Amino acid sequence: MNNVRVRFAPSPTGPLHIGGVRTALFNYLFAKKYNGTFVLRIEDTDQTRYVANAEQYIIDSLNWLNIPFDEGPNKNEKFGPYRQSERKDIYKKYAEELIKKGKAYYCFDTAEELDAHRKDHEAKGKTFIYNWHNRAKLTNSVSLSKEEVEQRIANGDKYVVRFKMYEPENNDAETIEADDIIRGHVSFKKEILDDKILFKSDGMPTYHLANIVDDHLMEISHVIRGEEWLPSLPLHIALYEAFGWNAPEFAHLPLILKPVGKGKLSKRDGDKLGFPVFPLAYTNTEGEVSRGYKEDGYFSETVVNFLALLGWNPGTEQELFSLEELIQSFDLARVNKAGARFDPDKTKWFNQQYMQQKSNADLAVTFAESLKEKGISLEEKTIEKVVSLIKERATFVNDFWDLSSFFFEAPTEYDAKASRKQWKEDTPILMNELIAIIETIEDFNSVNIETIVKEWITSKEIGFGKIMQPFRLSLVGAMKGPHLFDIAELIGKEETISRIKKAINTL
């Protein structure tokens, strides 16, 4: 496939929802598979909903996920500018071109007039649609003379420009036909479609006009977007035809659905069930903070991997993919039509899998930062060893402290239930004997400690539990943690003896 150019075109109205992230990811994977170009375009025509920090948030999110854009704002601006608010003059020219061709027309109807028409239709049990059926009865350049139109524009009357979707009087085709890579052949009846606004009275284009003009001028070859844009496809196809341009290929992605119930995944679902729906944490203008996958402890690879499998089927049993493997395997033809249900537990599973793949050294660097915040500073090799002992039980690096605090701090309290069960009347005597044995061990490594202690237990002809359970309780404060003798080796002989003595004096 030659000269593949795709674009991700979000609106800067707030944080980037995980559904938008998946759209960006699928565009990225498709572009990279065919050595194409991934374009970021900021669609900020709706200035009333514009949020100042949203554009940078989008860029930061793509960079964190390692799916950066090739072209976009302030980067390889071959077809720039890439913010629609900076391209206003371009759109006006194309709106006027459609008017000259008779494919669009000026409309001067006021909001009050349109509201009156709606109410009149409702009273008659009908639905008001501004289209071929009634455009000649409304206040526009179809019903008005050329002189009247020119006079109204000269007077500064407010107007919008609408597209003529259907013209039966000119033997217009009754349907719009299109082929979607994911959904196959689709057909739309023109007679039930409205004449969409292309250009607004504030001098800004609507999404529809700006989208088509930009995709054409930026030489976009494939439009990969969410299925919520499928109802707009007939208008977009009709616009390409009206301009005499070749349309790109279209692919409409399925929705990401709620974990439970019906409908698409929303921030409310995340808040209710305790998971993020944004890649990075986001602070809105009121100072409210929304959770992000990064700050919740997810690896960027996790987010990319689970999003890729939401709606796309690789055709194999493989679930874990590197970014390079995703690029090689990705195929739009294997994207499902049906919505993909979001599974928060599965996302945690993915993170756990990536945790095991990470080197202990890399994880230790991250863990060391949180230890420093607690005033704990140790050699990297020691932290690495701790990580190696606990990471199999962890889902997030954020879990490390709860799983390993006893390596760094002696227990200040002991699990009550375990104490009652494991600490018997003769336990202090046995623990003092254990101290005497530990004091004799010169090479204090895990294997050596285990061998000597177990030989001693065997020689006493008592159950291992009578020693091992209170021993663990002394070192950890609870019946948890990795191999007991690994703990002893890491905290050292002196600390091991000190903790046993503390337990004897406390329990």
Catalytic residues: 267
The β-bridge partners of 71 are 39
| pLDDT value for 167 | 92
Biggest CA–CA distance in the chain, Å, is: 113
Provide mean pLDDT across the span 108-132. Answer: 94
Q: Which residue has the tokens 């140790």?
A: 378
Q: What is the pLDDT of residues 351-373, one digit of tens each?
A: 999 999 999 999 999 999 999 99
Residue 88: pLDDT band with limits 50, 70, 90: confident
| pLDDT value for 382 | 94
Q: What is the pLDDT of residues 137-179, one digit of tens each?
A: 999 999 999 999 999 999 999 999 999 999 998 888 899 999 9
Q: Is the pLDDT of residue 431 over 80?
A: yes
| pLDDT value for 51 | 80
Q: What is the pLDDT of residues 238-274, one digit of tens each?
A: 999 999 999 999 999 999 999 998 899 999 999 899 9
Angle between helices 446-460 and 465-476 (to 10 degrees): 140
Q: Is the pLDDT of residue 215 over 90?
A: yes
Residue 89: pLDDT band with limits 50, 70, 90: confident
Beta strands at 222-226 and 249-253: parallel, antiparallel or unpaired = parallel
What's the mean pLDDT when you consider all of the chain?
94
What one-character-per-residue DSSP string does 56-107 give? Answer: HHHHHHHHHTT---SBBTTB--TT---BGGG-HHHHHHHHHHHHHTTSEEEE
Higher pLDDT, 201 or 96: 96
Q: What does the angle CA 185 – CA 188 – CA 191 come to, to the nearest 5 degrees?
A: 165
